[in-house]
Amino acid sequence: MGRGPVPQPPAPVWAASPPKKKSGWGIFWGILLGLSVLANIVFFLMIIGLMAVVVTGRADMITEKVLAPGPRAQKIAVIRVHGVIDSVSAQDVVEQIKHARKDRHVKALILNVDSPGGTISGSDQIHNEIVKYRSEKARPVVGFMQSLAASGGYYVSVASDEIVAEPTTITGSIGVIMGYLVLQDLLEGKLGIEPVIIKSGQKKDWPSSFHKPSEEELKYFEEKVITPAFERFKKIVTDGRGELSAEDVNQLADGGIFSAEEALSEKLIDEIGYFDDAVSKAKTLAGIDEAQVIEYTRPFSFAGLFGSEAKSIFKLDRNTIYELSTPQVMYLWSIH
């Protein structure tokens, strides 16, 4: 008699294990590990920054780049004034001129200008430092204008002994400009926002973006701000360009621009040429035949990359808002 099928034991049933709950210690060690990784990254960046400082010197130091070989005992230093002139760029130029003043081997400066101008204060600081350099060191300064040396760019150039401009240079624009936005209609008419101003006197909020200027306000700022700055500009040009009388400068100071040819004809510049011509002019004025031409530069530094000046680019703080909303009186050639 045959046997029947052998019964099989039932298959085991696997019950899903309940998820384990993370203990407080697990969370603590996870946070500690994350902080440790972050600290190592910061430490690594600090090491790189330290190495950069060791290799290049102090973060704020000025180094020399040789543009043309020659005897180091006879140097011509090139100072660049490029872009819009503001307090930061003006301070950089002033520091370079002071650096040149301390170097007894520097026999002349070339002020390389490619700028539409900028703030009155910044332009005046650079001009003053050049005049001081010429007076204290009795060494020549040659202004070399590239594509644009207008308004504040011309203001700083006239501090030089002589000015050389490229054939395509635009210069002049002797004058002052001031502008600001009136937001009254936008705020009150479109957005329904009514500003409240509490002031101690009638003129305390002049000029204001919250109301259109009256004739009295416009006349007030013309007398108090525009005219004094304009008169100073004209005096600077008269003093710097010995060939021009005060009356000549009055005729030229209508805010208009000049080509290089026109500027030469009007005696606003001395020569049309290129950089090599400016170097030759500097050698002649310094009474030397040979010179090493150098340019001042600043080495890379983490201080500059992550410092307070760099932070201001990304940070919209109270000072930035103030600068954006406050009218600026400028020696600037501006196209609107």
Segment 64-96, tens digit of pLDDT = 999 999 999 999 999 999 999 999 999 999 999
Instruction: Quote the domain boundaries for residue 156.
Output: 59-332
Say what the alpha-carbon torsion angle 136, 68, 85, 282 is, to the nearest 10 degrees: 40
Per the prediction, the chain carries an average pLDDT of 83
Segment 11-33, tens digit of pLDDT = 554 444 555 555 556 665 666 66
Does residue 289 lie within any of the structural domains?
Answer: yes
Q: Which amino acid does the sequence have at 172?
A: G
Catalytic residue among 89, 115, 151, 173: 151
Does residue 144 lie within any of the structural domains?
Answer: yes
Q: What is the pLDDT of residue 211?
A: 80
Segment 257-279, tens digit of pLDDT = 999 999 999 999 999 999 999 99
Report the predicted TM-score, pTM, of the whole model to 2 decimal places: 0.76
Does residue 5 lie within any of the structural domains?
Answer: no
Asked whether the CA dihedral 25, 29, 30, 32 is positive or negative, the reply is positive
Round to whole Å and give the CA distance between 41 and 192.
Answer: 49
DSSP readout, 190-249?
Answer: IS--------SSTTTT-S-TTSPPPHHHHHHHIIIIIHHHHHHHHHHHHHH-TT--HHHH
How many domains are there within the chain? Answer: 1
Does residue 20 lie within any of the structural domains?
Answer: no
Q: Is 151 assigned a catalytic role? A: yes
Does residue 25 lie within any of the structural domains?
Answer: no
Does residue 9 lie within any of the structural domains?
Answer: no
Q: What angle do CA 257, 325, 323 make, to 5 degrees?
A: 80
Closest residue by Cα to residue 275 from 127, 147, 88: 147
Q: What CATH number is associated with residue 204? A: 3.90.226.10
Q: Is 115 assigned a catalytic role? A: no
Structure confidence at residue 309 as a pLDDT band (50, 70, 90): very low
CB atoms closer than 10 angstroms to residue 26: 11
Q: Which amino acid does the sequence have at 203?
A: K
Does residue 294 lie within any of the structural domains?
Answer: yes
3-state secondary structure 43-65: HHHHHHHHHHHHHHCCCCCCEEE
Catalytic residue among 98, 199, 204, 212: 204
Round to whole Å and give the CA distance between 286 and 98.
Answer: 19
- Residue 66 phi/psi, 5° resolution? -80, 120
Does residue 39 lie within any of the structural domains?
Answer: no
Round to whole Å and give the CA distance between 191 and 95.
Answer: 47
- Residue 102, token pair as written in the block: 């301390």
